[in-house]
Amino acid sequence: DAGITQSPRYKITETGRQVTLMCHQTWSHSYMFWYRQDLGHGLRLIYYSAAADITDKGEVPDGYVVSRSKTENFPLTLESATRSQTSVYFCASGLRLAYEQYFGPGTRLTVT
């Protein structure tokens, strides 16, 4: 199916564990983004990537690691999960940084 997919859709993990959220897009968009959405904060950019092997920090990058070895995939890793990282995570893609972005369905992550 064409579009942007995220997996898993729901995840519960314990404090201190490593967890990886997956994002896959089929449009061959150059840019990919990871956001988190929290009540009262709206969407905040964690990391973004302009192309394979090119990544950059967003507004709230601490505690997260990204990689992009292939254009279509942009995984987000929480190296040692904390309760403050409980959130809904959205992946998005787009042709250019400031242009229209297409969002995935989100991953609801709970850190206990």
Contact map string, positions 27 to 56, toward another protein, x by CB under 8 A: -------------xxxxxx--x--------
Report if residue 98 touches another protein, rule: CB under 8 A.
Answer: yes
94's CB contacts (< 8 A; 6+ apart) are 29, 30, 31, 33, 100, 101, 102
How many whole angstroms separate alpha carbon 8 and alpha carbon 4? Answer: 13
Q: Give the count of residues interacting with another protein (CB under 8 A).
A: 20
- CA distance to 44, 57, 77, 82, 104, per residue, from 111 (Å): 19, 23, 14, 6, 21
DSSP state of 7: E
Report if residue 93 touches another protein, rule: CB under 8 A.
Answer: no
Instruction: State in angstroms the smallest separation of the CB of 27 from another protein.
Output: 13
Instruction: State in angstroms the smallest separation of the CB of 18 from another protein.
Output: 25
Report if residue 22 touches another protein, rule: CB under 8 A.
Answer: no
- CA distance to 28, 60, 112, per residue, from 23 (Å): 13, 19, 23
Instruction: State in angstroms the smallest separation of the CB of 101 from another protein.
Output: 7
Of the residues 24, 101, 109, 111, which one makes contact with another protein according to CB under 8 A: 101
- Scanning the structure block, which residue is given the tokens 């893609």? 93
**Interacting residue ranges for another protein, rule: CB under 8 A:** 40-45, 48, 58, 90, 92, 97-106
